[in-house]
Chain A
Amino acid sequence: MRKILTLSLFLLAAPAYAAEPAESTSLMSPNTGLMFWTLIIFITLWIVLARYAFKPITAAVEAREAALREAIEAAKRDRDEAALLLLQHRAKIEDARADAQRFIADARTAGEKVRAHMLEEAKAEQQEMLGRARREIEAERDRAIAQLRREAVELAISGAEKVIERNLDSDANRKIVETFLASIPVSKPDRASR
């Protein structure tokens, strides 16, 4: 470190510093030539810079600011539009949901109706079948009664024949039996046939 410093001192101390010209101006004395130059240089610089530097920069910055402002506006517009769309979509979804609810409710009521209808139908059919069965039974019964009666007549006749063969007039006897049979109430054999 010390060496370097010494060396640099030595180097710097190399001879002859060319003295400043003797007419070196004093600190405060004005120099009209320099003043004139300053004026010329500054005015020229002002005009040139105003025209070729500051104007384009300002214009560019203003254009950029305008572009940015526009972009922000556009973004805001888009956002508002999106919000509106979202709202609409939400409303639509709400509608759809309500529709679905209504459909389900409708289906349910329709189902209820169908069920009730079918139930009723089934009941009616059952009733009808019951009635038919009853009617058939009655018919069967009537037929059975008639047959029974006929057979009873036959039996009675054959019985009476046997009796009459031994007796005299069969016709008179037959009449007696017929009248007797007719006097017998219908219900009694009915109950007996069951």
Chain B
Amino acid sequence: MRRRLLLAATLMLGALFAPAAAAQDYAAPPAAATQDDAVQHATNVPERVDIITPHITDSHSLEYPCLAPGWACHLELPRWKPIHIGGLTLDLSPTKHVVFLWIAAALCLVVLIGGARAHGGSKPDKSPRGFSNGIEAVVLYLRNEVVMPNVGPHGDRYVPFVLTLFFFILFANLLGMIPYGATATGNISVTAVLALITFVMVEVAGMRTLGKKYIGTIVFWPHDMPLALKLPMTVIMTPVELFGKFTKPIALAIRLFANMTAGHVMVLALIGMIFTFGASFIGLAVFPFVMVVAIMLLELFVAFLQAFIFALLSAVFIGQIREAAH
């Protein structure tokens, strides 16, 4: 067990050399832009350039490392004609975040199916070695310590859902940590859909487990009260119950979105400060630099933490509705 934990820890540490490289990447835009402006306008007044918003919002191009000015080239993504379904317009052309979701999903597939392959066929009493063992440790931990205790009896069928949530969000978060990457989970659309799926999953779990009693989770109907009290209680509490149903996924969506966005804004702001400080006296740049590295490390931790929290809370919500007996 100890060895497995060690492997999981190594897995986490493995990603740690990203920050230094990332700092360089983020550093490119502001300095470059300032220089550019200075050349073009030949004025001493630096134009204000927003380096943060483009980084944390979606776009139709991908950045990739190259020797061009700014150390980044842009790959324009194809644009497809929007599809109209009724009144709804769906623009399915891939954006940066869509691409990073694909990558995250592909990584999930490679890592997890690869981990599963390592188990394949061989003697059942032998655990796999190395990375697969680490994956297995994480999967087992989430299954036995997060999903099963929270979801309650017969929680087996909800394990894949929660595990998929965890790994998908984790890889999406981590992709934002590497240079030229983008954080798809820092996009409210993505987190909103993930929360929506969780919401549906929770309600379906409620219907499945409670059957007819599921109505009780919507309409508040206290059995041990006189009718005169029952009716006003129902009138007052039903909106509260309904409200509760929706606040949980909304909180999920906003928590993940805000955490990922805030961390990146912080890092970018501090990277900007490296250049602001360095412009007056180069030695001063050390302080924001150290802070950037520290915040980067924190962000790595947060990437794991938020994925874990999303998965954990989903399991908790499923467990709550399954044992709700009003």
Contact = CB atoms under 8 A, between A and B. Distances in A.
A18 B98 contact: no
Interface in B147-200: 159-161, 163-164, 167-168, 184, 187-190, 192-194, 196-197
A32 B90 CA distance: 6
A44 interface: yes
Interface stretch (B8-16, B31-39, B241-249): B31-39
B74 A64 contact: no
B193 A35 contact: yes
Contacts of A30: 188-189, 192
B124 A67 contact: yes
A61 B140 contact: yes
A17 B92 contact: no
A33 B172 CA distance: 18
B197 A13 contact: no
A39 interface: yes
A38 B194 contact: yes
Interface stretch (B113-121, B208-216, B293-301, B304-312): B113-121
B131 interface: no
Interface in A29-64: 30-39, 41-46, 48-50, 52-58, 60-61, 63-64
A179 interface: no
A27 B57 contact: yes
A172 interface: no
Interface string A88-125: 00000000000000000000000000000000000000
Nearest to B139: A57
Interface in B233-247: none
A16 to B, nearest CB: 4
A44 B31 CA distance: 42
A66 B123 CA distance: 12
Contacts of B74: 18
Interface string B22-59: 00100111011111100100000000010001101111
Contact of A33 (B92, B120, B140): B92
A28 B189 CA distance: 8
B315 to A, nearest CB: 14
Contacts of B143: 58
B159 A58 contact: yes
Given A12-B31, A34-B98, A37-B101, A17 B70 contact: yes
A24 interface: yes
B282 interface: yes
B57 A26 contact: yes
Contacts, number: 192
Nearest to A51: B160
A49 B72 CA distance: 34
Interface residues of A, number: 54
A27 B258 CA distance: 11
A14 interface: yes
B69 A57 contact: no
Contacts of A24: 53-54, 57-59
Contact of B28 (A12, A45, A67): A12
Contacts of A28: 188
B97 interface: yes
A21 B109 contact: no
A13 B32 contact: yes
A58 B53 CA distance: 42
Contact of A15 (B69, B102, B117, B119): B69
Contacts of B160: 46, 49-50, 54-55
Given A34-B189, A42-B164, A12 B105 contact: no
A12 B278 CA distance: 13
Contacts of A163: none
Contact of B35 (A14, A41, A61): A14
A64 B32 contact: no
A6 interface: yes
Contact of A48 (B31, B109, B285): B109
Contacts of A17: 28-29, 32-33, 36, 49, 69-70
Given A45-B168, A58-B143, A60-B119, A14 B69 contact: yes
Contact of A9 (B117, B190, B275): B275
14 contacts: A6-B282, A9-B282, A14-B32, A20-B54, A30-B188, A31-B187, A42-B105, A53-B113, A54-B139, A54-B160, A56-B119, A57-B112, A57-B135, A58-B139
Interface of A: 2, 5-6, 8-9, 12-18, 20-21, 23-28, 30-39, 41-46, 48-50, 52-58, 60-61, 63-64, 66-68, 71
The 8 closest A-B pairs by CB, nearest first: A50-B160, A60-B119, A63-B124, A53-B112, A20-B54, A17-B32, A67-B125, A33-B91
